[in-house]
Amino acid sequence: MIEFDGVSKSFWTGKQRKVILDRASFRVDLGNSLGILAPNGTGKTTLINMMAGLEKPDEGRITRTSKISFPLGYMGGVVARHTATENSRHIARLYGLDPDYVEAFSRWLCGLEEYFDMPVGTYSSGMRARFSFSLMLALDFDIYLIDEGMPATTDVEFNRKAGAVLRERLENTTIVVVSHQPETLEKFCKSAAVLKNGRIHMFDTLEEARQLYEYQTQG
């Protein structure tokens, strides 16, 4: 479970204060994958980072009672000068998992071949995205966080394999997706929310959330 209780978050842009959340309260329960619709520039990445504990609120409290993933695409903890082999084994030990399994799973899923034994700092953005996604799915989490704004990959074979693994994960885990496209949420979520003027509006169905979101973006 992830629960936001009266959480506020804002930034000073140099010209004005940008409000991400304004005393927002909501919760994500296990077994109920949630999609959050938010236009570009409204703080989608900040919101998902706060769920992961990578950013702190200005006010309010965030409670986590489950094992929560780092956001898809987040490379924190990965050392650029080390190879994917070294990084995957190091991360496995941090989470108390079998390094042989995590390395083998990541190597199989990301399909980087000989590049898996080269420094991550030499990777293209697409290669880094494939490695970080593979590493995230190799670890055991109750809630997986996906930020649409994270680097994507156009590798067809990887997308096929990763999509199959993600669908399998959905049977036993919970996914939170933040996106500006309702179509993205349809793949993962039944319930949805809309981030509007710093508030989170929760809905039982994606269609209800889509109606408010489209009215908001068209208005």
Neighbours of 61 (CB within 10 A): 11
pLDDT (tens digit, 9 = 90+) per residue, 95-118? Answer: 889 999 999 999 999 999 999 999
What does the alpha-carbon distance between residue 151 and residue 169 come to, in Å, rounded to a whole number?
Answer: 21
Coil, helix or strand at residue 135: helix
Provide the pLDDT for residue 149: 55
Closest CA to 135 of 108, 156, 174: 108
Provide the pLDDT for residue 218: 67
pLDDT for residue 178 is more than 60: yes
Average confidence (pLDDT) over 55-78: 88
Provide the pLDDT for residue 101: 97
Question: Residues 44, 180: contact at Cβ < 8 Å?
Answer: yes
pLDDT for residue 120 is more than 90: yes
Phi/psi of residue 192, nearest 5 degrees = -150, 165
pLDDT (tens digit, 9 = 90+) per residue, 16-59? Answer: 889 999 999 999 999 889 999 998 888 888 999 999 999 999 99
- Our CA angle for 156, 168, 161, nearest 5°, is 15
| Radius of gyration of the chain from its Cα atoms, rounded to whole angstroms | 18
Please enumerate in sequence order all residues whose Cβ is within 8 A of that of 108, keeping only pairs 6 or more positions apart, or say none: none
Predicted TM-score (pTM) of this structure = 0.83
